[in-house]
Amino acid sequence: MNTRRDFLQKMGASALMLKLGSVAAFANVPDPIEPPYKGKVLRVAIMGLGGYGNRVAEAMKACTKAKLVGVISGTPSKIKDWQTKYNIPEKNCYNYENFDQVKNNPDIDAIYVITPNALHHNQVIRAAKAGKHVICEKPMALNAKEGQEMVDACKKANVMLLVGYRMHFEPRTLEVIRMRNAGEFGKVMFFQGLCGFKAGDPNQWRLNKALAGGGSMMDIGIYALNGARYMVGEEPIWVTAQETKTDPVKFKDGVDETIQFQLGFPSGAVASCLSSYNINHLDRFFVSGDKGFAEMQPSTGYGPIRGRTHKGELTQPITTHQTVQMDEMAAIIFEDHKPVVAVNGEEGLKDLKIIDAIYQAAKTGKKVELSA
Ligand code: NAD
């Protein structure tokens, strides 16, 4: 995978990363020589040092505006490893019991929660009460009720809540959104989102309802749902859904193996989506309007994202998603930067409300209307 540093070397335009809002500019900018960044750096502690936490930490090495400075983990040996690897001082290391003490630590600005889904609610609220900004992985919580409580807690504590929607900063995705906004597809009438993979180890937390909150829909189907919203550019007003289970031993009660869901939008556009833990090579978006189309495959994996529109191949720069995400989140927090597609708690809550409705529709077999 190309690193951000590779990209910057090739492009010679560090300023580009900070201007993702303007993707047209992003693709074809002359090559301005920017002075090194001298602004405020977001000092982040990562909570949950697992697979994705490691990926984020590695990607953050190339950040300009964000820096990994602390860890929160239940495993002392992991803390030691990370201290060595990322030069993290002892005073910035916490466990799940004592991390509320981070409120007395002026050297940490934000906590990035990267633990199993069921833990996000409590951990985000505790981080907010400690007066720290919070970045939380998707899905933000197990349901809309929890999500609302998290949004309220962060508001009350006067801290920002952001959700790790890395695709919202991905240049090729943003180019398709730009084209849609510019009317280049004409009236958008259809979106298809296919997201899934074969889940391996039957004992992983992702297949445990208590920790995951559900199955494929919570983990990977959320990309198709979120993608439907940012590709169509509207909020759905109804959902229908159907669940298929071929392996009830591996995918127990409340852990969905495969869900197909459909969304209806105010303009009349519809979306047809597939979420699965038992089908490989599902990573594809297709959006169709009366004047053009875009198709992306892979569409939400770690990259490189590939795709084409009726005008040709998407050629915007390939980035390391988590590096750009963290620099952009720092700009959102400290510079009031407004991303093209929101990544705040309210955005996470919108997905949770629709996921609640998808599960309800799958269970009842009925169309579920969504309130605005
Ligand atoms: P993982 O299993 O690799 O890591 C989870 C970490 O949480 C581990 O370090 C584990 O020790 C710790 N943990 C703390 N309490 C735990 C408990 N009670 N049970 C199990 N583990 C516990 O999982 P992951 O893939 O890193 O996923 C973590 C979060 O990140 C999830 O919410 C997931 O949806 C999200 N994620 C997001 C992306 C993305 O692209 N945005 C990718 C992968 C995962």
Which domain-ending residue is among 165, 184, 212? 165
Please report whether residue 232 resides in a domain. yes
pLDDT at 3 over 60: no
52 catalytic, yes or no?
A: no
Instruction: Kindly state whether residues 179 and 302 are assigned to the same domain.
Output: yes
Is residue 70 assigned to a domain?
yes
Domain holding 266, by residue range, is 167-318+344-369
Verify whether ligand 1 is closer than 6 Å to residue 74 (CB atom): yes
Q: Quote the ligand 1 centre to 112 CA distance (angstroms).
A: 12
In a domain, 287, yes or no: yes
Average pLDDT on 320-340 reads 98
Same domain, 205 and 156: no
| Domain closes at, from 165, 187, 220 | 165
- Are both 203 and 135 inside the same structural domain? no
- Looking at ligand 1, which residue's alpha carbon is closest to its atom 1? 50
Q: How far is the CA of 366 from the centre of ligand 1 (A)?
A: 33
Give the residue, out of 1, 114, 167, with the most ligand 1 atoms within 8 A of its beta carbon, to mutate for a pocket test. 114
Mean predicted confidence (pLDDT) in 355-370 = 98
Ligand 1 centre to CA of 317 (Å) is 29
Confirm or reject: Cβ of 53 under 6 Å from ligand 1: yes
Q: Are residues 90 and 174 in the same domain?
A: no
297 in the same domain as 174: yes
| Residue 137 near ligand 1, beta carbon < 6 Å | yes
pLDDT tier at 32, thresholds 50, 70, 90: low
Say which of 94, 165, 223, 230 is annotated catalytic: 223
In this prediction, residue 28 carries a pLDDT of 35
| pLDDT for residue 35 | 85
pLDDT tens digits for range 162-201: 999 999 999 999 999 999 999 999 999 999 999 999 999 9
| 223 is an active site residue | yes
- Tell me, yes or no, whether 192 and 158 share the same domain: no
In a domain, 63, yes or no: yes
Cβ(186) to ligand 1 under 6 A?
no
Tell me, in angstroms, the distance from the centre of ligand 1 to residue 26's CA.
32
Q: How far does residue 116's CA lie from ligand 1's centre (Å)?
A: 4
Residues 304 and 202 in one domain: yes
| Secondary structure of the chain as H, E, C letters | CCCHHHHHHHHCCHHHHHHCCCHHHHHCCCCCCCCCCCCCCEEEEEECCCHHHHHHHHHHCCCCCEEEEEEECCCHHHHHHHHHHHCCCHHHEECCCCHHHHHHCCCCCEEEECCCHHHHHHHHHHHHHCCCEEEECCCCCCCHHHHHHHHHHHHHHCCCEEECCHHHHCHHHHHHHHHHHCCCCCCEEEEEEEEECCCCCCCCHHHCHHHHCCCHHHHHHHHHHHHHHHHHCCCCCEEEEEEECCCCCCCCCCCCCEEEEEEECCCCCEEEEEEECCCCCEEEEEEEECCCEEEECCCCCCCCCCEEECCEECCCCCCCHHHHHHHHHHHHHHHCCCCCCCCEHHHHHHHHHHHHHHHHHHHHCCCEECCC
Pair (310, 180) in one structural domain:
yes
Ligand 1 and 109: CB distance under 6 A: no
Instruction: Please compute the mean of the pLDDT values over residues 223-227 and round it to a whole number.
Output: 99
Residue nearest to atom 8 of ligand 1 (CA): 50
Average pLDDT of the segment spanning 18-42? 60
Are residues 174 and 156 part of one domain?
no
Kindly report the pTM of this predicted structure. 0.92
Confidence of residue 92 (pLDDT cuts 50, 70, 90): very high
Distance of CA 3 from the midpoint of ligand 1 (Å): 23
Residue 64 lies in a domain: yes
Domain presence at residue 141: yes
Atom of ligand 1 nearest to the CA of 164: 41
296 band by pLDDT with thresholds 50, 70 and 90: very high
Q: What is the pLDDT of residues 109-160, one digit of tens each?
A: 999 999 999 999 999 999 999 999 999 999 999 999 999 999 999 999 999 9
Q: Is 49 in the pocket of ligand 1 (CB under 6 A)?
A: yes
Number of domains into which the chain is organized: 2
Q: Is the CB of 52 under 6 A from ligand 1?
A: yes
